[in-house]
Amino acid sequence: MKTTPPPARHQDAGVTLVEVLVVLVLVGIMAGIVGLSIGSGSRGDIAKQEADLLVARLNRAADDVILTGVPMGFVWGAEGYRFDVYNGEIWVPHPLPVLKEPHLLAGRTRIVGSAGTIVVSTDSRPTEDSPLSLELRAGDGAAEYVRFDGISAAHLQEVE
């Protein structure tokens, strides 16, 4: 039996299906690498994310004061904040894992203004006359505002 060789390809015949598939696989891999390096979160919302996190933590701490009757101290500075409780003699880090460690703000986010401390006790009011208002800003981005009245915290779009 005699076999005939396949016909020779012409120089201007184009590309084969295998070559097209190899190129598509390479493009898919490169797109995946670029997508993963960019990340899934928006980088412009760091101050908003930090404000939302602060609101959640302040609300959790205020709930704990109501439930346990133990005074809570909220201490903040330009680069972060922490929660303390009074154990009858001294102020110590909060016992709840979510509030125990001091929190450093992400990226270039800062709390604008001077550092401070408020104490929330069982009467559910901070030790100051008016609610606490904090401004968070990431670089030159828009400001995010957090207001805390001793019972609940809220993320505000603008200062009222």
- Residue with more model confidence, 125 or 134: 134
Please enumerate in sequence order all residues whose Cβ is within 8 A of that of 158, keeping only pairs 6 or more positions apart, or say none. 145
pLDDT at 102 over 90: yes
pLDDT value for 14: 79
- The second-level CATH assignment, the architecture, of 44-156 is 3-Layer(bab) Sandwich (3.55)
pLDDT at 82 over 90: yes
- Residue with more model confidence, 155 or 157: 155
Handedness of CA 72, 73, 74, 79 (dihedral sign): negative
Burial 33-72 (b: 16+ CB within 10 A, else e): eeeeeeeeeeeeebbbbbbebbbebbeebbebbeeeeebb
Q: Give residue 87's pLDDT band: very low, low, confident or very high (50, 70, 90).
A: confident
Domain residue limits, the chain: 44-156
* pLDDT tens column, 119-133: 888 775 555 557 889
* pLDDT tens column, 12-70: 777 888 888 888 888 888 888 887 777 555 555 888 899 999 999 999 998 998 888 88
pLDDT value for 88: 85
